[in-house]
Amino acid sequence: MSSEGHCRCTQIEEESLYTELEKILEGHKGRGKDLIIVLHKAQGLFGYLPRKALEMIALELDVSINEVLGVVTFYNFFSTQPTGRNSIKVCLGTACYVRGGPGVLKQAEKDLGIKDGETTGDRRFSLGVVRCIGACGLAPAMIVNNDVYGRVKTTKIMEILEKYE
Amino acid sequence: MVRLTIDGQNVEIEEGKTILEAALKANIHIPTLCYLPEVQAIGACRVCLVEIEGNKNLQAACVSPVSTGIKVYTNTERVRKARRFSVEMLLSNHPFECLTCPKNLHCELQSLANELGITDVRFKGEKSSGRIDESSPSIRRDQSKCILCRRCITVCKEIQTVTALFAQGRGFDTKVEPAFNRDLGEVACTNCGQCSIVCPVGAITENEDIDGVWEALADPDKFVVIQDAPAVRAALGEEFGLPPGTLVTGKMLSAARMLGFDRVFDTNFAADLTIIEEGSELLKRLREGGVLPLITSCSPGWIKFIEHFYPEMLPNLSTCKSPHQMLGALTKTYFAEKMGIDPEKIVVVSVMPCTAKKFECERPEMRSSGYKDVDYVLTTREFAKMIKQAGIDFVNLPDGHYDDPLGEYTGAATIFGATGGVMEAALRTAYELATGMVLESVEFTSVRGLEGIKEATIPVEGIGDVRVAVAHGLGNARRLLNRIKEGRGDYHFIEIMACPGGCVGGGGQPIPVNNEIRLKRASALYAEDRALKFRKSHENPSIKKIYEDFLGKPLGEKSHKLLHTKYTARSRF
């Protein structure tokens, strides 16, 4: 698909999501303590936290935008960059690290043409790192969305990813 | 009461107090860094560690409550090593630029390293990257020097309710800055400078203007005029080792003359003028049904706050400029005409307890003389630096005098520097202007002191009861404004100062500032007020003269042009 066409369609989709966000914000007016809950919901809605959404949240909850971003940038879960439809997490916990995790990450970066923390231009994949997923016996491990892959071979990464649209 | 021992000494202290407070009571010094009384106790820096018998780990004294029977040790080998370790870790990524740092010899980290006997840093690691942000005319940030103590965040969020800064990111990459990597000059910062008062290192300081002032003084073609704000004379002495609360008006004026200024005026003159203009504005609004409550406009930190956060209330503000801007405008018009000096050659330097006034003098509205009305604003701290650079023996200076025609002042003007002072000064004049009667008791003590929001009702014949309120510190200002918006406060006149304690606690004042020091500085001003011949602004002979010779009448055409201003609604982001 042409990336141009895709972008415009995403933009239109995103615009309609702000009405949804307004609904989420109802009942949180002036309630700064609800910040993390609201950020969670907003991220679920947009897939990431666009600046405009963050500003709406700051105004409605009566929290400074600077504090809102402080919270967003502290927690790994939150992202201010658009994320892909599919999330790839390469495990770099101790066991995976010694059994070739860094090589898996390097190959995935090469195959997708993006770095750790980035998203492909077509928004198909986001690539990230986790520190141990408790699958040490399967090291090196990788998660795509909710699926865990063990004993990942660098030559097989693209084969795994092809299943995800 | 709780009984405990510290280093073998019996200490008795109220329940709920911390080990640090108990040690202080027993005259035992525990070093601290992120801790700051009246601001924060978070136990983050691990410098105030102490050993408690039977406790496996060392505890941070600033957040550990006392309990009966505990045995605390503050000076064991283990404690000394642990404290040193904490500070060495901070130093391992700190730039060693002490000799050229604006906080050299005033840096708490530097003193601490010295106190703990650190002569070598064992850890050689990555240095924090960080940029210098000079986008704000008031505040300079050098992120590479930040030790993440969070004092600035706490003062900005909890006390000022502005939160222009916050910790962004996590771990080694944490930066204290506005959202989206923006500069301080672009965001909703009020420039109050309270962050620069609490920063223990050189990460947040005022944006210095000393070099520009030296240049002007060295230029034979320039006619350089200085003016000092009321709160400066109550604090400047501290920079030279005098105790807080020492009034140094005479020495300050002498020092200014020795530095080579061509005229030594006094912002207090313009404070008296402010009272005439603002008092007239109040009476006009009361009589003609104008927007009430009228709110004072002397504090540029407060002005920027209302512009960002309560723009719908801008019509409540007095249109009076802050006193030093009035004096700047008059210097380049009235004084220039009188002396036959080309105003283009005049350079006006304001010595202020304030960082926000550096931003204020850059505002486009502040050019009513046809030139920049005030060219440079120096903080009290910068002025002290200049006096030191000039080799002046400040403490032994004889008392000097201000120059005419913009120097003479009354007691009403000098109390502008303390919270409630503008209100009290305005009441002294407004009462007499409204009733035509002589006010016998000039001291309105109900608006003095450090209570966050103060209220009073003054019966004024012919007008009725005048209800007033005073707030200092922007958190208190916010509470007061919310009270008004919710219809819970029906006031006629309100004084607001951005800094806790008013200008005596201003962001440009000598460090440290705490409530005890705020009160001592304020009492120095009240003492000066009591000692002055004239204590009501409208009795100032030079004020009477400037209306006769130049201004005409209060709120008149010339006043409107030179002494009044307008405001701009700004974004909350």
Q: Which of B498, B208, B506, B218 is nearest to B378 (CA)?
A: B208
pLDDT score for A11: 61
**Beta sheet of B294-295, edge-to-edge order:** B294-295, B493-497, B464-472, B453-460
All residues of chain B having their beta carbon less than 8 Å from the beta carbon of residue A68 are 179
CA-based nearest distance A58→chain B, Å: 9
Q: Do B165 and A69 touch (CB under 8 A)?
A: no
Distance CA(B140)–CA(B206), nearest Å, equals 6
Q: Do A58 and B573 touch (CB under 8 A)?
A: yes
Cα angle B370, B374, B377; round to 5: 160
All residues of chain A having their beta carbon less than 8 Å from the beta carbon of residue B184 are none
All residues of chain A having their beta carbon less than 8 Å from the beta carbon of residue B179 are 54, 65-66, 68-70
DSSP A125-152: EEEEEES--S-GGG-S-EEETTEEE-S-
Alpha-carbon distances of B505 from A157, B100, B494, B512, B514, rounded to whole Å: 63, 27, 19, 10, 8
Q: Do A51 and B180 touch (CB under 8 A)?
A: yes
Stretch A18-41: mean pLDDT, rounded? 96
Distance CA(B282)–CA(B270), nearest Å, equals 18
**Among candidates B157, B167, B179 on the partner chain, residue whose Cβ is nearest the Cβ of A65:** B179
Q: Do B163 and A69 touch (CB under 8 A)?
A: no
- B456, amino acid identity: A
Tokens describing residue B41? 């106790």
pLDDT digits (tens, 9 = 90+) for A3-22: 443 445 566 677 889 999 99
Distance CA(B446)–CA(B448), nearest Å, equals 6
Distance CA(A91)–CA(B511), nearest Å, equals 49
Of B175, B357, B358, B454, the catalytic one is B357
Q: Which of B190, B292, B229 is nearest to B498 (CA)?
A: B190
Q: Render each residue's pLDDT in chain B as its tens digit; 573 residues.
A: 999 999 999 999 999 999 999 999 999 999 999 999 999 999 999 999 999 999 999 999 999 999 999 999 999 999 999 999 999 999 999 999 999 999 999 999 999 999 999 999 999 888 877 899 999 999 999 999 999 999 999 999 999 999 999 999 998 899 999 999 999 999 999 999 999 999 999 999 999 999 999 999 999 999 999 999 999 999 999 999 999 999 999 999 999 999 999 999 999 999 999 999 999 999 999 999 999 999 999 999 999 999 999 999 999 999 999 999 999 999 999 999 999 999 999 999 999 999 999 999 999 999 999 999 999 999 999 999 999 999 999 999 999 999 999 999 999 999 999 999 999 999 999 999 999 999 989 999 999 999 999 999 999 988 899 999 999 999 999 999 999 999 998 999 999 999 999 999 999 999 999 999 999 999 999 999 999 999 999 999 999 999 999 999 999 999 999 999 999 999 999
DSSP B269-281: HHHHHHHHHHHHH
Stretch A64-84: mean pLDDT, rounded? 92
Interface of A with B (CB under 8 A): 51, 54-55, 58-59, 63-70, 73-74
B344 by DSSP, 3-state: which? helix
Q: Do B164 and A64 touch (CB under 8 A)?
A: yes
pLDDT score for B450: 97
* Contact between residue B377 and residue B229 where contact means Cβ atoms under 8 Å apart: no
CA-based nearest distance B153→chain A, Å: 10
DSSP state of B262: S
Size of the A and B interface in Cβ pairs below 8 Å? 42
For B167, the closest chain A residue by CA position comes to A70
B443 catalytic, yes or no?
Answer: no
What architecture is domain B230-563? 3-Layer(aba) Sandwich (3.40)
Backbone angles phi, psi at B494, to 5 degrees: -135, 135
B192 catalytic, yes or no?
Answer: no
Q: Which of B276, B316, B283, B310 is nearest to B297 (CA)?
A: B316
Q: Which of B328, B299, B320, B298 is nearest to B192 (CA)?
A: B299
B50 by DSSP, 3-state: which? strand
**Beta sheet of B71-73, edge-to-edge order:** B9-13, B2-6, B71-73, B49-52, B59-60
Kindly give the pairing relationship between strand B346-352 and strand B376-379: parallel
For chain B, the domains span: 2-91, 128-207, 230-563
pTM for this predicted structure? 0.92
**Beta sheet of B223-228, edge-to-edge order:** B263-266, B223-228, B346-352, B376-379
For A71, the closest chain B residue by CA position comes to B168
DSSP state of B512: P
Of B51, B177, B281, B432, the catalytic one is B281
B486 catalytic, yes or no?
Answer: no
Q: Do B164 and A66 touch (CB under 8 A)?
A: yes
Distance CA(B499)–CA(B514), nearest Å, equals 12
CATH topology of domain A86-161: Glutaredoxin (3.40.30)
Distance CA(B329)–CA(B372), nearest Å, equals 8
CA-based nearest distance B512→chain A, Å: 27
CA-based nearest distance A164→chain B, Å: 31
Computed over every residue of chain A, the mean pLDDT equals: 90
All residues of chain A having their beta carbon less than 8 Å from the beta carbon of residue B157 are 64, 67
pLDDT score for A1: 37
Interface of B with A (CB under 8 A): 157, 162-170, 178-180, 187-188, 572-573
For B163, the closest chain A residue by CA position comes to A64
The number of angstroms, rounded, from the C-alpha of A92 to the middle of its chain's C-alpha atoms is 17
For A70, the closest chain B residue by CA position comes to B168
Alpha-carbon distances of B525 from B234, B290, B400, B414, B452, rounded to whole Å: 6, 33, 18, 6, 20
With a threshold of 0.85, tell me whether the complex ipTM lies above it: yes
CATH among 3.40.50.740, 3.20.20.80, 3.40.50.300, 3.30.70.20 for B128-207:
3.30.70.20
CA-based nearest distance B501→chain A, Å: 25
Task: Tell me the HSE value of B333 on the side-chain side, using a 13 A CA sphere.
Answer: 22
**Beta sheet of A86-91, edge-to-edge order:** A125-130, A86-91, A142-144, A147-149
Which residues face B18 on adjacent strands? B65
A146 vs B231, higher pLDDT: B231
Tokens describing residue B338? 């009188």
Q: What confidence category does residue A77 fall into, taking pLDDT thresholds of 50, 70 and 90?
A: confident
Residues with Cβ within 8 Å of residue B250, at least 6 apart in sequence: B397, B398, B399, B400, B401
pLDDT score for B127: 83
For A66, the closest chain B residue by CA position comes to B179
All residues of chain A having their beta carbon less than 8 Å from the beta carbon of residue B188 are 64
Give the class (CATH, top level) of B2-91.
alpha beta
For chain A, the domains span: 3-74, 86-161
Cis peptide before B37, with omega less than 30 degrees from 0?
no
DSSP state of B235: T
Of B38, B365, B443, B455, the catalytic one is B365
